[in-house]
Amino acid sequence: WKSMGKGSNFILICCANKKILEKTGLCSQITFGRYVRQGRKLGLDPKLFIQDLQFNKVPVRVYQPKATSDGPRRGILFFHGGGWVFGSLVFLVLNIWTCNKMYRLAPEHKYPAAYEDCLNATLHFLQHLQHYGVDPARVTVCGDSAGGNLAAAVSQTLAGSSDLPRLRAQILIYPGLQALDFNLPSYQQNRGVPLLFRERAAFFALLYLNGDALHMKEVLEGSHIPPDMRLKYRKWVSPDNIPEEFKVRGVKPLRPTDFIAEVYETVKRFCEPNLCPLLAEDSVVHQLPESFILTCEYDVLRDDGLLYKKRLEDNGVPVTWYHLKDGFHGIISLYDYCGFSFPSGKRGLDSVCWWDKQI
């Protein structure tokens, strides 16, 4: 953690404090998490025009440069991360950014509420590009963490659309893309690494799906997926598809667990691609736009990104992959936030900005 920067101690304190506050009854972990993850305030910038609007009743914040342009600009829709439970924004203003201020959050609003909000906001934007001076051939969807999940799901939904502008690209920043296997190498290796512990990954997925975290133990063990379905998806969700270089920190072979049908009945929508985009059929995946995927070594979601990268490449989709060898989950959001100093966060941010400007 020392090599990651001076902010790491503060991260550990916050992770501990939210549990203490809940045990003392002062507030829930979700309330505390929403407080500390509030979107940073963007100071006034004479070069930017900022509006809070609604796209199909979904709150969005639109950033536009005031400078005139020789022609239509690129447009990016950014979906914030936060485990579908917290709301925050990352500000990367490139020509025009349209950010979800706050899609409907779990556990108050269960799946598919967040997905539907992001899809509806995207549809509205695509239908009104001329109003914002955006080039229909240069629209990208982007998101970090849960936002990366939502960006991938929206991109898949629009992949076969013929009556709307085709998305130019998708940018997925350490996305969470599946809930079948919480024992992939990255989940084992980084189970106790902030900001996202292994148990928290399952906790957030269950909150988004059902509004509660019942059966988390069974989900972590893998008892929630029928054997035939696990076999079906093994071609896509398997440690065998993870490059050997990512297993050198150790991977323990796991004993088979008994399938529990009652648990599956409560979580069977985990097998829907709109919730777990890694499970989309090849007929959908091969239609996806050019993609950028950022992963971090010290992140339980690392292998979700690696597996999706392979799926895209196997289906002929151009992929640019950027891996932060000293990065951890959430590091992009923390860049230059409250005095934190994480050099790899700056490198990751620069890589996203550079790639977007090239397409």
Confidence of residue 262 (pLDDT cuts 50, 70, 90): very high
Give residue 19's pLDDT. Answer: 55
Q: What is the pLDDT of residues 89-111, one digit of tens each?
A: 655 555 678 888 889 999 999 99
Say if CB 87 and CB 39 are below 8 A apart.
yes
Give residue 33's pLDDT. Answer: 57
The CA-atom distances, in angstroms, between 72 and each of 31, 75, 170, 310, 333 are 42, 9, 19, 34, 29
Q: What is the pLDDT of residues 139-149, one digit of tens each?
A: 999 999 999 99
Lay out the sheet containing 134-144: strands in order across. Answer: 48-55, 58-65, 97-100, 73-79, 134-144, 169-173, 290-298, 319-328
List the catalytic residues.
145, 299, 329
C-alpha to C-alpha distance for 204 and 189, rounded to whole angstroms: 19
Confidence of residue 254 (pLDDT cuts 50, 70, 90): confident
Beta pairing class for 73-79 and 97-100: parallel
> Worst-scoring range by mean pLDDT, 79-93, 124-138, 284-298, 345-359?
79-93
Mean per-residue pLDDT, 125-152: 96
Give residue 96's pLDDT. Answer: 77
Q: What is the pTM of this model?
A: 0.90
- Tokens 């998708």, located at residue: 170
C-alpha to C-alpha distance for 84 and 196, rounded to whole angstroms: 13
Mean per-residue pLDDT, 283-307: 98
Sequence ranges of the domains in the chain = 1-36, 46-358
Q: What is the pLDDT of residues 152-199, one digit of tens each?
A: 999 999 998 999 999 999 999 999 999 999 999 999 999 999 999 999
Nearest CA to 74 out of 65, 84, 86, 83 is that of 65
- Write down the CATH number for the domain with range 46-358: 3.40.50.1820
